Amino acid sequence: MADLLREGDTIVLRLSTLEKVEGVHGDINVPVSAVESVEIVDDIIKAVHGIKMPGTRVPGLFAMGTFVSRGGAAFAIVHHQNKRGVRIHLNGTTYNELIVGLDDPESVVNSLGLSRS
């Protein structure tokens, strides 16, 4: 299961080995200064939109990888058991959003020291 944590002035999305394979990507690091807003989402799988490029996806069940739409690129890690999660809106990075399924999104957002929108 992916970990979303803060290391100094960096937000780190740390992926398991299997997630790296399924998402066709390594860990993601973004500066805290790039975070525009953080949103807790109750139905996190519905937050994943766009064309999968590259990654793994079964619509409505799970999504892992890069998803491109008119709004830009998002990186998602949402497992089938994740009903809730966070969407982190970014500016000035490769991704416009990080979408992460989490068991307790409120605790994770608090541990990151970011305010929610």
Q: How confident is the prediction along the chain (117 residues), in pLDDT tens digits per residue? A: 899 999 999 999 999 999 999 999 999 999 999 999 999 999 999 999 999 989 999 988 999 999 999 889 999 999 999 999 999 999 999 999 999 999 999 999 999 987 666
* Domain total of the chain: 1
Cβ neighbour number for residue 59 with a 10 Å cutoff: 9
- Buried-state track 73-89, b at ≥16 Cβ within 10 A, e below 16: bbbbbbbeebebbbbbb
Give the end-to-end CA distance of the chain in Å, rounded to a whole number: 25
**107, containing H or E segment:** helix 105-112
Q: Shortest CA distance to 11 belongs to which of 86, 70, 67, 103?
A: 86
Domain that holds residue 97: 3-112
The answer to the question of residue 117 being in a domain is: no
The answer to the question of residue 69 being in a domain is: yes
The answer to the question of residue 61 being in a domain is: yes
pTM for the full predicted model:
0.93
The answer to the question of residue 10 being in a domain is: yes
Residues 6+ apart with CB under 8 A from 46: none
The answer to the question of residue 80 being in a domain is: yes
The answer to the question of residue 7 being in a domain is: yes
Query: 108 is written with which tokens?
Result: 């994770």
